[in-house]
Structure 1
Amino acid sequence: MLEPEVISREEIRSLLIEYVHCADGGRTDRMLELFAEDAVMEPTGDPVCRGRDEIRAYFESAGRSIRRHMAAPTLRHHLSSIHIELTSATQARTTAYFLAVTEIGPDHWGRYRDTLRKTGDSWQITHRLLQLEGRTPGGWLDRHEAARGTEARA
């Protein structure tokens, strides 16, 4: 493996890890900088978010829900099995498993499937497919989804 490839892989791995640290720490502004201005995010069961403003609105809504539905509003994301495919010197695709843990234990889990591009000295997410694969009954995400269903019927 060539040195530039190793450097790119570590930069991308660091970006993915920084993303979950920002999400868990409520650092939305920094988290959004990890997305390109024109990024697209497709979260399972929710409308597609196009651009940073829509992505911000999605995460701010999730933050309000966490504070409303959790006794101890602490969420910790854990990433594993990070696979990085460099498709060029400035393009990459990744897959990473995530597990979100709250005060009750595992809450929800799935995969991030990302497309990234390097602009200047930094990598940014240009497309994220957030694949939710499961959730714990009675957990935060379960309560969040139930509340949204009630709001939609009202």
Structure 2
Amino acid sequence: MLAPEVIAREEIRDLLIEYVQCADGGRTGRMLELFAEDAVMEATGDPACHGRDEIRAYFENAGRSIRRHMATPALRHHLSSVRIELTSPAEARTTAYFLAVTEIGPDHWGRYRDTLRRTGDSWQITRRLLQLEGRTPGGWLDRHEAARATGGRA
């Protein structure tokens, strides 16, 4: 593997880690900078978010729900099995498993499938597919979804 490929892979891996650390730390502004201005994010069961403004609204809603439905509003995402495919010097696709943990233990889990592009000196997510594969009954995400389904505030 050539040095530029190794560097690109590590930059992308760092972006994925920074994303979950920003999400868990409530640093929405920095997290949004990791997305391209025209990024699209699709999460299982939700309408697609187009652009940073819609992505921001999605995460701000999740933050309000966390504060409303969790005794200790702390969420920790763990990434594993990160696969990075460099499709060109300026484009890549990734797949990573995630596990979100709250005060009760595992809360929800799934996969991120991302498309990224190099913009200047850094990489940005241009498309994210957040595939939810499971959740713990009675956990935060379960309560969040129940509130939405019954017309309650999420």
TM-score by shorter chain over 0.5: yes
Shift of 1:89: 0.1
SS of 2:150's partner is: helix
Deviations 1:35-85 (A, max 9, x none): 000000000000100000000000000000000000000000000000000
2:98 alignment counterpart = 98
1:131 alignment counterpart = 131
* 1:87 has 2:80 as partner: no
Q: 1: CA distance between counterparts of 2:68 and 2:5? A: 44
Q: 2: CA distance between counterparts of 1:147 and 1:119? A: 39
User: Normalized against structure 1, the TM-score is what?
Assistant: 0.98
Q: 2: CA distance between counterparts of 1:43 and 1:49? A: 9
Q: After alignment, is 143-152 or 25-34 more displaced? A: 143-152
User: Normalized against structure 2, the TM-score is what?
Assistant: 0.98
Q: 2: CA distance between counterparts of 1:43 and 1:22? A: 18
Q: 1: CA distance between counterparts of 2:59 and 2:44? A: 14
Letter matched to residue 117 of structure 1? R
2:8 alignment counterpart = 8
Unaligned runs of 5+ in 1: none
Letter matched to residue 81 of structure 2? S
Report 1:104-143 matches (<5 A). 104-143=104-143
Aligned residues: CA RMSD: 0.6
Unaligned runs of 5+ in 2: none
Q: 2: CA distance between counterparts of 1:151 and 1:22? A: 29
The runs of at least 4 consecutive aligned structure 1 residues that moved more than 4 Å come to none
Q: 1: CA distance between counterparts of 2:119 and 2:56? A: 21
Report 1:66-77 matches (<5 A). 66-77=66-77
Q: 1: CA distance between counterparts of 2:146 and 2:43? A: 17
Shift of 1:19: 0.1
Q: 2: CA distance between counterparts of 1:29 and 1:119? A: 18
2:64 alignment counterpart = 64
Residue identity (%): 86
Q: 2: CA distance between counterparts of 1:41 and 1:143? A: 22
Q: 2: CA distance between counterparts of 1:35 and 1:119? A: 11
